[in-house]
Chain A
């Protein structure tokens, strides 16, 4: 069974500071991994995804994440936070590579706040 754990339900950083949102996953097969962002009262927007190949994945808005199989982690980073980055971030996993169902299992989310 797949699962996702996001460490820290709320993270606050200063504008211009490094953003680090932590995610650990559990999967019995090589996973697809995702980070989605959700702004208030909106649906989810894909930031980036890892399927196979290069373990460092670059996404939109300057975000990137690194797949570390040995640590079962997929942490999200951004070198310099911007006020517009304030939102809810969800890490997610799917077994799409091995399962036709490809449903996505989401973590409980991390709310990112940016201090001026």
Chain B
């Protein structure tokens, strides 16, 4: 079991560009979550998937953000027209089901210049 992996680990982009992050959950985990963590704060929930279905989105997830999990395995998080306020660590987590432990990946740190 290799754990949750995220790519890239770091991303620097200019304001207005689009970025996409990938998360590979632990195999056979049905649940996949995205969180955002800004400096000095705890992670904040963004969205989650049960298999390929996106079941809940936080109000933090503006219409510039889109997440997919097309085959119920890996997931992508895309941010369009990035803004400096999008600079944060984006964390992915997966779990076997709703009551099981969420295991976190190492995160993707985004810096928008």
Contact = CB atoms under 8 A, between A and B. Distances in A.
Interface string A42-53: 111110010100
B42 A46 contact: no
A109 B98 contact: no
B98 A101 contact: yes
Contact of B103 (A4, A41, A46): A46
A49 to B, nearest CB: 7
Given A96-B99, A97-B99, A43 B45 contact: no
Given A44-B104, A46-B103, A103-B33, A96 B98 contact: yes
A25 interface: no
A108 B99 contact: no
A6 B95 CA distance: 25
Contacts of A92: 42
Q: How large is the interface on A (under 10, 10 to 19, 20 to 34, 35 or more residues)?
A: 20 to 34
Contact of B40 (A41, A49, A97, A109): A109
Contact of A106 (B40, B42, B95, B101): B42
Contacts of A102: 31, 95, 98-99, 102
Interface-central residue, B35, B42, B93, B101, by most chain A CB under 10 Å: B42
Interface of B: 4, 6, 31, 33, 35, 40-45, 48, 55-56, 91, 93, 95, 98-99, 101-107, 109
Interface of A: 4, 9, 32, 36, 41-46, 49, 51, 90, 92, 96-97, 99-109
Nearest to B9: A41
A57 to B, nearest CB: 13
Given A43-B105, A44-B43, A99-B98, 7 more contacts: A92-B42, A96-B99, A100-B98, A101-B55, A102-B99, A104-B35, A106-B44
B3 to A, nearest CB: 9
A105 B99 contact: no
A106 B43 contact: yes
